[in-house]
Amino acid sequence: MTVHLQTETEKVRAALAIAASRQFGAPAADLAAIEGLARQSGGASRQTWSFDAVVNSRREALILRRDPPTSGKTERERSVAIDRATEFHVLRAAHRAGVRAPEPLFELTAEDGLGEAYVMRRIEGTAIARKLLRDPPYAGAREKIASQLGEIAAAIHATDPATLPPLARREAADHIAGLRGSLDAMGLAQPVFELALGWLDRRKPSPLTRPVLVHGDYRTGNYLADETGVTAILDWELAHLGDPLEDLGWLCVKSWRFGAIDRPAAGFGTREQLWAAYERAGGGTVDRARAHWWEVFGTVHWGVICLTQAFKHLSGSIRSMEHAAIGRRAVEAEVDLLQLLKAA
Amino acid sequence: MAQDRPTAAELLNAVIDFLREEATPSLDHSDAGLGFQMRVAANALAILEREGRLGPAADAREHERLVKLLGHDGTLDELNRELARQLREGQRDERDGALMAHLEATVADKIAIANPKWK
């Protein structure tokens, strides 16, 4: 295993040296030096590598996003996750629109031999929920994060659609059909999820005349923050066009509070703080019933994701104790759904 | 023939305590990623310990409620499939008090095994 990883790291290093030299204009005789190259944890199915490129005595702090050659994606994931090239162009449009996100720099080519991949600037901060929620250095940040996430969501949703690459448009009805399809594909009978999907189906919001850029996985764990609060929104691979309240509802799903259950907005604030910041930043009036609908939807979605992760292990596509164990978290979503439907 | 002590639950608890109190702290020092995996493993064993203790009675209660709710007998899997189908087809919904009482009780029993701390 160690030998295999070593080979993989050296292959990535060699390809990055050539690509970074091309991008940053290194002289042919003096290739860019790739330092501190390390695979980062998180993002099980798609790779993220951290490294510095030293070119002409200048040090560039960078991140490589890359799809592994064989990844254990389910049919549903394959159908909703965007490819790396699309992700690069979404990130570029959002970054240029002023969204706090890493600046994408360049795409790798087929000749570089790393598969679908691009490089972006590395931003300081941590994405680890446990640290952000409990460690002393982040006490000040904790007061701000809910509002900052509302403001940044408004900026994401305001990205000019004309600057975006082609993206799938997904309405409430598509999402409901997707989750029912996932349950059917796994052959599972889940009365509580069916109850919630029926509730959602009968109340689904009408399609928007002007769908917006939706991040698609907007939650604690998918942004970086430091002592000042949020520094960058990460993980754009589920971006699509749709209802902006999808992002705000997902952010309030109980699992993303990481134990801080009395602070619904990402574990840091109230829903009202989140919505007020979103409205102040020009996101438009938040329809409360519609926001609740998306939180209920997000909760079913999370429950189905737990089962889907377990089935990756059970099907043999990814052999992983962690994937297997997460199947037993689906019932947490069932508990949350029964609470949410009572509150409705 | 009965097995000697420890019982299954006692042996599982001994393993869980070892993983949590000795193996995990040591791994946290040497390899944080493996330390995390070890926590997942210990939690999974704790689920199995609770399932061994609480699972059979919980399954029996769920089965009894489903027979009453659906009006006929069947395996737990068959009855849940029928209920899921009725919900998918809109024959039942959240206004059905007997249904909601059944789901509340079932989910309470499930979470008591999977994660009793979940609120």
Q: Which residue has the higher pLDDT, B26 or A2?
A: B26
- A151 and A168 inside one domain: yes
B119 in any annotated domain? no
How far apart CA A72 and CA A46 sit, in angstroms, is: 10
Q: Is the pLDDT of residue A202 over 60?
A: yes
- A111 and A172 inside one domain: no
- A176 and A100 inside one domain: no
- A313 and A222 inside one domain: yes
Q: CA of A244: how far to CAs of A150, A278, B65, in Å?
A: 11, 11, 41
Kindly give the residue spans of alpha helices, DSSP state H, lying in B3-119.
8-18, 24-30, 32-70, 76-88, 97-114
Q: What is the CATH number of the domain that holds A275?
A: 3.90.1200.10
Q: Domain range spanning residue B74?
A: 8-114
Question: Is residue A239 within 8 Å of residue A268, measured between CB atoms?
Answer: no
> Which chain A residue has the Cα nearest residue B47?
A328
Q: Is the pLDDT of residue B64 over 90?
A: yes
Q: Do B44 and A325 touch (CB under 8 A)?
A: yes
Q: Say which of B40, B84, B110 has its CB closest to residue A194.
A: B84
Tokens of A218: 């907007």
- Which of A86, A121, A156 corresponds to the end of one domain? A121
- A73 and A172 inside one domain: no
Q: Domain range spanning residue A183?
A: 129-343
What pLDDT, on the 0 to 100 scale, is given for residue A69? 60
Q: Say which of A189, A328, A338 has its CB closest to residue B103.
A: A338
Tokens of B53: 């203790």
- Which of A92, A121, A150 corresponds to the end of one domain? A121
- A297 and A210 inside one domain: yes
- A225 and A174 inside one domain: yes
- Using pLDDT thresholds of 50, 70 and 90, give the confidence band for residue A79: low
- Predicted ipTM? 0.95
Q: Say which of A180, A325, A331 has its CB closest to residue B107.
A: A331
- Using pLDDT thresholds of 50, 70 and 90, give the confidence band for residue A1: very low
B2 in any annotated domain? no
Q: Do B88 and A198 touch (CB under 8 A)?
A: yes
pTM to 2 decimal places? 0.92
- Using pLDDT thresholds of 50, 70 and 90, give the confidence band for residue A67: confident
- A contact set with B (CB within 8 A): 41, 180, 189-192, 194-195, 197-199, 202, 261, 321-322, 324-325, 328-329, 331-332, 334-335, 338, 341
Q: How many CB pairs under 8 A join A and B?
A: 72
Helix (H, G, I), strand (E, B) or coil at B2: coil
Q: Which residues of A touch B90 (CB under 8 A)?
A: 198
Q: Is the pLDDT of residue A81 over 80?
A: yes
How far apart CA A208 and CA A171 sit, in angstroms, is: 8
> Which chain A residue has the Cα nearest residue B118?
A332
- A51 and A100 inside one domain: yes
- Top residue of A41, A186, A328, A341 to mutate, by most chain B CBs within 10 Å, is A328
In this structure, of A48-62, A73-87, A224-238, B14-28, the range with the lowest mean pLDDT score is A73-87
Specify the number of domains making up chain A.
2
- Using pLDDT thresholds of 50, 70 and 90, give the confidence band for residue B33: confident
Q: Is the pLDDT of residue A110 over 70?
A: yes
Counting every residue written for chain A, the total comes to 344
B1 in any annotated domain? no
Question: Is residue A52 within 8 Å of residue A35, measured between CB atoms?
Answer: yes
In this structure, of A71-80, A324-333, B30-39, the range with the lowest mean pLDDT score is A71-80
- A108 and A136 inside one domain: no
Q: Do B93 and A202 touch (CB under 8 A)?
A: yes
What pLDDT, on the 0 to 100 scale, is given for residue A76? 43
B82 in any annotated domain? yes
- Using pLDDT thresholds of 50, 70 and 90, give the confidence band for residue B39: very high
Q: What is the mean pLDDT of chain A?
A: 92
Tokens of A325: 């164990």
What pLDDT, on the 0 to 100 scale, is given for residue A30? 81
Mean pLDDT of B25-31: 92
- Which of A70, A89, A121 corresponds to the end of one domain? A121
Shortest Cα distance, chain A CAs vs residue B37, angstroms: 7
Specify the number of domains making up chain B.
1
Q: pLDDT tens-digit profile of A26-40? A: 777 788 999 999 998
Q: pLDDT tens-digit profile of B98-115? A: 999 999 999 999 999 999
Q: Which residues of B touch A329 (CB under 8 A)?
A: 114-115
What pLDDT, on the 0 to 100 scale, is given for residue A290? 96
How far apart CA B88 and CA B93 sit, in angstroms, is: 9
- Cβ–Cβ contact B29 with A under 8 A: no
Residues of chain A with pLDDT > 70: what percent? 93
Q: Do B107 and A194 touch (CB under 8 A)?
A: no
- A329 and A218 inside one domain: yes
How far apart CA A251 and CA A273 sit, in angstroms, is: 13
